[in-house]
Structure formats: structure tokens, C-alpha cells
């Protein structure tokens, strides 16, 4: 029993030492970016969406706010951009959208399939990996599938990123609310 207590104390001290030494490289706040006055810091953090408020938490009849795929601007913009094509596979947690083979109706022996993979949730040019596949058939049985890069891929990515930027700006404008807390104390 005594050995168990000694080993648990040594183990606890070991974890404490590891935890304390790992704090050395943690990022800290830049004093130049944040005002020294606590009321100003609170106001700035809440305006930037870094804080939380309890004023709406206890209102009756209001459920929780759930953020699903519709909260991700890139995801919404991608679905809105390719909404004319039937979807074959959509996996938000896996970060991929795959369309079904699509033909515009004029040329039945040619089809296109689009695959959009999300590499990041941020709205930036390297956040999307778009692949476009073409299927050209001589007959119903004899088909050749090729992946092509070119202006269509670039145009599709540009259109998605533009829509995502608009959605992000709309969300930021909608979520912004000025902090109306305690009065700011002036320095003496």
C-alpha cells in the first residue's frame, strides 16, 4: 500500500512538471494589441466575438443555437454554386462534395462530374481542391473518363470563394453588436 502511494505521488509530480514546463511555449497576448484597462479589453473582445454573454441564456422559449454545415461559408457557397447538378455524395464531416454525372441535355454522350474537397474552413484560395472529370462516350458501353484542369476549375473556385466572402461578411455584420456593459473607468 505504501508503494502505491509513493508511485502515485511521483506520477502526480511528474505530470505537474511536464505541464508546467510545457507552458513555456504557449502563445501569450501581445500587450500592444490590447488596452490595459479591463473594461476596454472586455468591450474589444466581445465586439470581436471572443467572449460570451449570459443575457440571452435565460430567456424563455428560446432553444440553443446550433451551428451545422450552414454556418460554414465555403460549404454553403459550394452547394449554392453547384446547385443545378444532382449530388452523388455529400459528407460535411469528411469535407467533400461529389456530384453525379451531369449532361446539359444537348450532348448526351458527354458528361461532367465535380469533386470539391475542403482543406480548410477559412475562406482562402488554397482551402478548396476542385477536380472536374469528363466522360465521353462513343456508345453507352464505350466511355472514356478523364480529369481535366483549366478555366472551368479556376472559374468554379473563383465563384465559390466570392460567394463565401459575401456570406462571411454578412455573418460578421449580423453578429456584430456593441458591448454596452459597465461604464469605462478613466485613469487617474
pLDDT digits (tens, 9 = 90+) for 24-42: 545 555 566 666 777 777 6
Max mean pLDDT among 24-28, 137-141, 165-169 falls in 165-169
Residue 166 belongs to some domain of the structure? yes
DSSP state string for 76-124: HHHHHHTTTS-EEEEETTTTEEEEPPB--SS-TTEEEEEEEEES-SS-S
pLDDT at 131: 94
Residue % of the chain over a pLDDT of 90: 21
Do 89 and 95 form a contact (C-beta atoms < 8 A)? Answer: no
pLDDT at 162: 93
Residue 100 within any structural domain of the chain: yes
Q: What is the pLDDT of residues 76-126, one digit of tens each?
A: 899 999 998 999 998 888 889 999 999 887 887 888 999 999 988 888 888
Is residue 154 domain-resident?
yes
- Chain-centre distance for alpha carbon 73: 7
Which residue range(s) make up the domain with 92?
69-173
Residue 34 inside a domain? The answer is: no
Domain count, the chain: 1
* Among the ranges given (48-57, 131-140, 156-165), the one the predictor scored with the smallest mean pLDDT: 48-57
In a domain, 20, yes or no: no
Can you tell me the distance from the alpha carbon of 159 to that of 79, in angstroms, rounded to the nearest whole number?
A: 11
Has residue 137 got a pLDDT over 50? yes
CB atoms within 10 A of CB 71: 13
Using the predicted structure, report yes or no on whether residue 43 has a pLDDT greater than 80. Answer: no
**pLDDT for 97:** 93
* Selected residue with higher pLDDT from 129 and 183: 129
Largest CA distance in the chain: 86
Q: Residue 91: inside a domain, yes or no? A: yes
Position 20 confidence tier, pLDDT thresholds 50, 70, 90? low
Predicted confidence at residue 82, as pLDDT, reads: 92
Q: Identify whether 134 is part of a domain.
A: yes
Residue at 43 is within a domain: no
Amino acid at each position: 500500500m505504501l508503494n502505491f502511494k509513493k508511485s502515485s505521488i511521483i506520477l502526480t509530480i511528474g505530470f505537474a512538471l511536464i505541464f508546467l514546463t510545457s507552458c513555456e511555449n504557449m502563445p501569450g497576448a501581445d500587450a500592444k494589441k490590447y488596452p490595459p484597462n479591463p473594461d476596454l479589453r472586455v468591450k474589444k473582445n466581445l465586439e470581436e466575438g471572443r467572449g460570451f454573454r449570459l443575457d440571452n441564456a435565460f430567456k424563455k422559449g428560446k432553444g440553443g443555437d446550433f451551428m451545422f454545415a450552414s454556418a460554414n461559408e465555403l460549404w454553403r457557397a459550394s452547394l449554392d454554386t453547384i446547385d443545378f447538378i444532382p449530388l452523388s455524395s455529400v459528407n460535411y464531416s469528411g469535407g467533400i462534395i461529389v456530384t453525379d454525372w451531369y449532361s446539359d441535355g444537348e450532348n448526351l454522350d458527354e458528361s461532367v462530374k465535380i469533386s470539391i474537397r475542403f482543406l480548410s474552413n477559412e475562406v482562402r484560395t488554397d482551402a478548396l481542391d476542385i477536380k472536374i472529370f469528363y466522360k465521353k462516350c462513343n456508345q453507352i458501353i464505350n466511355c472514356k473518363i478523364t480529369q481535366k484542369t483549366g478555366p472551368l476549375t479556376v472559374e468554379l473556385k473563383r465563384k465559390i470563394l466570392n460567394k463565401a466572402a459575401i456570406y462571411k461578411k454578412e455573418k460578421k455584420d449580423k453578429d456584430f453588436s456593441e458591448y454596452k456593459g459597465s461604464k469605462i473607468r478613466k485613469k487617474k
